[in-house]
Amino acid sequence: MLPYPRSMTLAVKALGVAMGIALLAGLGGPTGCVSGDIGEFGSGGGGAGLEREIEPAPGGVRRLLARQYKASIRAVLGDAAASAAAPPKDIPLHGFGTIGAAQLSLSAVDVEAYESSARAVAQAFLGDAKAAGKHKSCTPTGPDDAACMGELCESVGRLLWRRELDAAELEALVTLGNAAGATLVSFDRGAEFAVAALLQAPEFLYIVELGEPVAGAEPERRTLTQTELATRMSFFLLDATPTADLLDAAVAGKLGTPEEVRTAATTMLAQPEAKAALGAYYDEIFRLDLIDETAKNAELFPGWSDSLKASMRASARAMLDDIVWERDADARELVTADYAFVDSQLAPLYGTSSLAPSLEKVTLPEEQERAGLLGTPAMLSVFSHAARSSPTKRGVFIRRTLLCDTVPPPPNDVVPKLPDDPSDGLTTKELLEQHMDDDACRSCHALFDSLGWSLEIYDAIGRHRTKDKGQTIDTSGVSPNVGEFAGPRELGQLLFDHPQLPDCMVRNLYRNSMGHLETTGEEPAIAALDESFAEGGYRVQELLVALVTSPAFRLVGAPK
């Protein structure tokens, strides 16, 4: 796997000690425990200078994510076919489905699932006269009509494999389709086998990003072909295979300049699929997807149900959509927004009076101090225990996901246990503070627990409260490299102004789009994206365009 510049290289124990010293010395800045540095790379702006500075990561193949598989089938073979699709599950690495898709091998179980899915999809497609009609104008003369089978396979094959099929490939498909048709006495039943073969082929199931050598450059420096670029863009921005028009444009050489790429990207972003694709990414990065497997203590939280969980997830997504798509606003509002999308199920949690069955935008009561994502019941529930809140989990989420800091595992010689509390009278904060008597624990926990303490006014399902175990909750805190805050809203403002917040947004989106953790050689591209993100007012739509027009997006190294 690729080296990761921010990974831990020192022994964990040494880091713990170093961190303790850093804290004792009151440094508060970048430390051994968190790598808070932001690279000072690049010439800014992009262009040829930047292109030369980038050392691209290796090219290769990436398996389609389950959602990309389904959406591609919907785009090429229609809704009925998409409903029949049942691909294997994604396996994320580093929290990204796209990284798992670039690294892991398929199992026999996966291959079998792809076959069953392909057969069901093909059957639904051939049974959908309107969808099938888009790929064949001919009326079959019989089960063995080779010309008509050829027309169908050529049209479907080009879109599924994202290239023209050659004569031998077409012949094999036609032979299969006609032979099966003869056995089953039906052209369509036979065609199912040819379409199912196309759907099981590696060139459909894997995105191929091998590039071609750059003239005059070393052989391991390659640039994606325009068709590969169109494919990478389409799967990143829309989660689907490129359209016939986009493929035509690529083949005609109309994706050769940054301006042409920008125009194509802007067109894609206007499609509803763009919102869904980014939403799926947010579900993953903010762990909204984990809410399905989040359990709560039924005695303490009797209202915990599948429909409540679905509302929580939809509510968080609605806020993100509002910032990115409805208002095209500063993405850093993610940690300061003073509103939420509330329905009748969520109203009691938020202490608002909304009775509408569907989500409505509501300004939240000032005293609840909810700050964007930091105040969403979805995030607060996922990053809690079954019975009580978890300042640690919430703090780690802020460090790891919002600031891209590295939070190392606990040292090996530490027994990570909470103190005995026989009378059950200690607040969560008191429990954690006692365990911080241990220097080895405190050195790292100080970095995230204090962030989490400010969110203690929200219980394990995100309800506002002022007391824990009868004691008034103190939401103030100080966190190294973040600053001093009185409560969640001030913490949100500190994060809003923190240079690592937008840099981390860029890094996460980059990892998702490229299918690997950024390498040192790609840091110049990250720095340039940071700069353009800031210049554009931190708007995500513009960042998406900047990313696909970045030289890093079209460069690859030698195949991995």
Partner 1 sequence: MAISPLSRRTVLRGVLAGASVSVGLPLLELMLDRHGEALADGEPLPVRFISWFFGNGVTLARFVPAGEGPDYPLSEELAPFANVKEYLSVLTGFNNHCAPENKITHHEGMVIFSGFNNRDVGQGQGFFSNAGGPTIDQVIANLPSVSEKTPIKSVQLGISKRPSQVDFGTTMHALSHAGYLMPLPPEHSPLVAYKMLFDSFTPPEDPMKPHRIAALDIVRENAKKLSQRLGAQDKLRLEAHLAGVGELEKKILALPPPCTKPAAPTQDNVDVNGNEPLAQVSDVMNDLIAYAFRCDITRVASMLFAEGAGNTIFSDLGFTGAHHDYTHDGSPQTQSTQVSGGVVYTMQRLAHLLERLKAEPDGVSGNLLDNTVLFASSDCAEGISHSVNQQPMLVAGRGGGKLVPGMHYASKTGENPSDVLVTLLGVFDPAATSVGKDQPGSNTAFAPLKA
A 10 A CB-CB count for 435 gives 18
Sole binder of partner 1 in the list 141, 183, 358, 472 (CB under 8 A): 183
User: Does 66 help bind partner 1 (rule: CB under 8 A)?
Assistant: no
What sign results for the dihedral spanned by CA atoms 537, 542, 547, 550? Answer: negative
User: Does 310 help bind partner 1 (rule: CB under 8 A)?
Assistant: no
User: Does 558 help bind partner 1 (rule: CB under 8 A)?
Assistant: yes
User: Does 151 help bind partner 1 (rule: CB under 8 A)?
Assistant: no
Helix axes 428-435, 439-453, angle to 10 degrees: 160
User: Does 224 help bind partner 1 (rule: CB under 8 A)?
Assistant: no
Q: Which stretch binds partner 1 (CB under 8 A): 200-208, 228-236, 251-259, 264-272?
A: 200-208
Q: Which 383-402 positions form the footprint of partner 1 (CB under 8 A)?
A: 385-387, 393, 400
Give the nearer residue to partner 1 in terms of CB position, either 336 or 389: 389
A 10 A CB-CB count for 558 gives 16
User: Does 210 help bind partner 1 (rule: CB under 8 A)?
Assistant: yes
d(Cα 161, Cα 348) in Å, to the nearest integer? 50
Give the nearer residue to partner 1 in terms of CB position, either 184 or 494: 184
Q: Which 417-446 positions form the footprint of partner 1 (CB under 8 A)?
A: 417-422
Instruction: Scan for tokens 């879109």, then name that residue.
Output: 159
Give the nearer residue to partner 1 in terms of CB position, either 292 or 326: 292
CB of 270 to partner 1, least distance (A): 33
CB of 157 to partner 1, least distance (A): 11
List, in sequence order, every residue forming a beta bridge with 339; answer none if it has no partner. Answer: 363
Q: Which 246-305 positions form the footprint of partner 1 (CB under 8 A)?
A: 290, 293-300, 304-305
Radius of gyration of the chain (CA): 26
Give the nearer residue to partner 1 in terms of CB position, either 74 or 296: 296
* Of the candidates 101, 473, 94, 62, the residue with the CA atom closest to the CA atom of residue 232: 62
Binding mask 81-100 for partner 1 (x = CB under 8 A): --------x-xxxxx----x
Q: Which 21-60 positions form the footprint of partner 1 (CB under 8 A)?
A: 58-60
Give the nearer residue to partner 1 in terms of CB position, either 4 or 325: 4
User: Does 416 help bind partner 1 (rule: CB under 8 A)?
Assistant: yes
Q: Which 118-137 positions form the footprint of partner 1 (CB under 8 A)?
A: 119
Q: How many residues does the chain have?
A: 560
A 10 A CB-CB count for 25 gives 8
Q: Which 441-470 positions form the footprint of partner 1 (CB under 8 A)?
A: none
d(Cα 99, Cα 180) in Å, to the nearest integer? 38
Sole binder of partner 1 in the list 159, 176, 337, 403 (CB under 8 A): 176
Give the nearer residue to partner 1 in terms of CB position, either 193 or 350: 193
DSSP string, 90-107: P--BTTBHHHHHHHPPPP
Burial (Cβ within 10 Å: 0-12, 13-18, ≥19) of residue 140: buried
Sole binder of partner 1 in the list 26, 219, 409, 470 (CB under 8 A): 409
User: Does 115 help bind partner 1 (rule: CB under 8 A)?
Assistant: yes
Q: Is 61 helix (H, G, I), strand (E, B) or coil?
A: strand
User: Does 559 help bind partner 1 (rule: CB under 8 A)?
Assistant: yes
DSSP state, 89?
P
Sole binder of partner 1 in the list 25, 48, 109, 129 (CB under 8 A): 109
User: Does 112 help bind partner 1 (rule: CB under 8 A)?
Assistant: yes
Tokens of 139: 């009326």
Give the nearer residue to partner 1 in terms of CB position, either 6 or 464: 6
d(Cα 76, Cα 58) in Å, to the nearest integer? 30
CB of 162 to partner 1, least distance (A): 12
Q: Compute φ and ψ for 487, nearest 5 degrees.
A: -170, -175
DSSP string, 536-560: TTSBHHHHHHHHHHSHHHHEEBS--
Q: Which stretch binds partner 1 (CB under 8 A): 37-45, 70-78, 196-204, 466-474?
A: 196-204
HEC letters along 182-201: HHHCCHHHHHHHHHHHHHHC
Instruction: Give every CB contact of residue 416 below 8 A, 6+ residues apart in sequence.
Output: 410, 441
CB of 269 to partner 1, least distance (A): 29
Number of shown-chain residues binding partner 1 (CB under 8 A): 85
Sole binder of partner 1 in the list 243, 406, 481, 520 (CB under 8 A): 406
User: Does 408 help bind partner 1 (rule: CB under 8 A)?
Assistant: yes
DSSP state, 291?
G
Q: Compute φ and ψ for 290, nearest 5 degrees.
A: -75, -15
Give the nearer residue to partner 1 in terms of CB position, either 95 or 536: 95
CB of 385 to partner 1, least distance (A): 5
Instruction: Give every CB contact of residue 287 below 8 A, 6+ residues apart in sequence.
Output: 379, 382, 383, 397, 401
* Of the candidates 154, 118, 123, the residue with the CA atom closest to the CA atom of residue 136: 154
DSSP state, 252?
T
CB of 241 to partner 1, least distance (A): 16
CB of 402 to partner 1, least distance (A): 13
Give the nearer residue to partner 1 in terms of CB position, either 264 or 556: 556
Q: Which stretch binds partner 1 (CB under 8 A): 106-114, 446-454, 484-492, 502-510?
A: 106-114
Give the DSSP H or E segment for 3. Answer: none
